[in-house]
Amino acid sequence: MSATSDKQSTLQYLKDYKPHIEGRQLRVLVYGPAVAGKSSFINSVKSVLEGRICTLALVDNISHDCFTKKIEKENPNTFYPFVFNDIMGLSDRKGVLVEDVKLALMGRVKDDYVFNPEHKLSEGDQYYNTTVNPNDKVHVLVCVIPADTVNQMRDEVIRKIQEIRKAASDLEIPQVAIITKIDKACPDIKEDLKNVYKSVYLKEKMEQLSVNVGILMNCIFPVRNYFEETDLNDEVDSLVLRTLRNIINYGEEFMNHKMSQSEDSDK
C-alpha cells in the first residue's frame, strides 16, 4: 500500500471508530514534562482529523480551561468518541502532583478542575468526582517526552513518571510513550521526515527513553507535531495518525477487557 492510501485508510478508520460498547467514550490521559509537546500533540490530532491546522488558541477557546479536550466532527455538535485529558507538566518542583494524576486515572477529577501544584485534590472538594461513571475513567495513559531532552531527564521527573505508571499498571491501564520534537533533535529528520524509520540517532533516543521510563520500544511512537506551519503535510499526518490508531486500539481493547471482567464478576 502506498503511504498516501495507508494514510487515507487510517484516517477513515479513525473517523468511523466507535467503541464496541454502546455509549462509551475512550479517555486518553496525556502527561509528561512541561513544554514536551503535550498540547501540541492533541492539537495535531485535531488538525489531522479536521483536515486543517488548528491553533492552540482555538482549542482553548472552545474548551476554555477544561482539562478534557473534545474534537468536534464534521456535523456540528457531534464529537469523536475519544477525548484527551491535557494536564500541566510534571517537574521536579512546581509541576502537577502525582496524587492528582492518580485521581485523574480513576476518573475522580471533574472536567473544570484547574490543577494546583501546591494542593492535592481530595474527597469533599467540589472538583472531586464522587460518582465515577465508566466514561470518566482513563483507558490509555500517554507519556510525552521530547527527543532532544531524553538524555537530560531529571531523576525526580523519572521517579514521578514511574510512580504514575505503577498506579496505571495497578489499574491495568495500557501505556504508551510519544517521543516528540524529532525534527529538533535530528537534522536528517528535519530535512526529511521520511528518515524517521532510518535514523540511528532516533532509535538510540527511543532506546534510552525505554530504559528511563520502562516502556517497551514497540509502544514508543515518534511524532513531529504541527507547531509552526499553516498547511497540513502528509508525513506529519502519517506519524500522528499511526500514533492515534495505536492509542485507540489499546484503549478499545482495555475497555472490552474491563467489561468482560465486570460481566464475569456479575455471574
Ligand X SMILES: Nc1nc2c(ncn2[C@@H]2O[C@H](COP(=O)(O)OP(=O)(O)O)[C@@H](O)[C@H]2O)c(=O)[nH]1
Question: Which residue number places its CB atom closest to Mg ion?
Answer: 39
**Contact letters for ligand X, residues 62-101 (x by CB under 6 A):** ---------------------------x------------
Q: For the chain, what is the HEC assignment?
A: CCHHHHHHHHHHHHHHCCCCCCCCCEEEEEECECCCCHHHHHHHHHHHHHCCCCCHHHHHHHHCCCCEECCECCCCCCECCEEEEECCCECCCCCCCHHHHHHHHCCCECCCCCCCCCCCCCCCCCCECCCCCHHHCCCEEEEEEEHHHHHHCCHHHHHHHHHHHHHHHHCCCCEEEEEECHHHHCHHHHHCHHHHHCCHHHHHHHHHHHHHHCCCHHHEEECCCCCCCCCCCHHHHHHHHHHHHHHHHHHHHHHHHHHHHHHHHHC
Work out which of 149, 199, 225, 243 binds ligand X, going by CB under 6 A.
Answer: 225
Tell the smallest beta-carbon distance from residue 36 to Mg ion (Å).
Answer: 8
In the complex with ligand X, the residue whose CB is nearer, 34 or 217, is 34
Q: Is residue 205 a contact residue for ligand X (CB under 6 A)?
A: no
Please list every residue from 7 through 36 that binds ligand X, using CB under 6 A: 34-36
Number of residues this chain uses to bind ligand X (CB under 6 A): 15
The binder of 180, among ligand X, Mg ion, none, by C-beta within 5 to 8 A per type, is: ligand X
Contact positions vs ligand X (CB under 6 A): 34-40, 89, 180-181, 183-184, 224-225, 227
